[in-house]
Amino acid sequence: MNKKILAILALLIVATSIGAVSAFDLADLFGGAQNETVTIDGVDFNIPDGFEVDPTNTTQKAVESLIEDGAQIESKGYVKGDTAIGLFVVNITNGLTNEQALKVMGGDNTTINNVTGYLKKDGDITLFNFEKNDRIVVISSSDEKIIGDFLIA
């Protein structure tokens, strides 16, 4: 009888150990990959899982007029399938204040994830422009719904 109890206990210990290891692996799988934080010119952005760097930065067109006006811009682009997003941090150098530049850029006053700025449609691209850390931040995306996923308030 004691041997049966010891055998059952041994099996339970082995099963519990295997279950604990499996649960750890499953947590990694189902917990999802961790989002990445990227800093561009002092502004932090969240990069959701699955987005990869877009070496061509296809959304660069969204800020071409600012570049022509002499603004200094640092940017990164990301893609996931058919969805492209551009993250731009702009230092206005043409004498306009950030507030004036945001008004010139236009859009509807909007708050996304506790960040207040201006939302504007430009063809197939949606722009969300706001001020942070004494810079203008422009997020351009082919999918308006994901803009909030990149914001860190």
pLDDT in tens, the chain (153 residues): 544 444 444 443 433 333 334 344 444 455 555 789 999 999 999 999 999 998 776 556 656 666 666 678 888 999 999 999 999 999 988 888 999 989 988 999 999 999 999 999 989 999 999 999 999 999 999 999 999 999 998
Q: What is the dihedral of CA 101, 44, 118, 110, to 10 degrees?
A: -150
Structure tokens at 79: 């893609």
Structural domains counted in the chain: 2
Tracing tokens 């308030």 back to the chain, one arrives at 153
* pTM score, whole prediction: 0.73
25 and 48 in one domain?
Answer: no
93 and 24 in one domain?
Answer: no
Tracing tokens 């002092």 back to the chain, one arrives at 42
Task: Tell me the backbone φ, ψ of residue 36, rounded to 5 degrees.
Answer: -105, 145
Which structural domain, as residue segments, surrounds residue 10? 1-32
11 and 45 in one domain?
Answer: no
118 and 55 in one domain?
Answer: yes
135 and 69 in one domain?
Answer: yes
Residues 48/139, Cβ–Cβ less than 8 Å: no
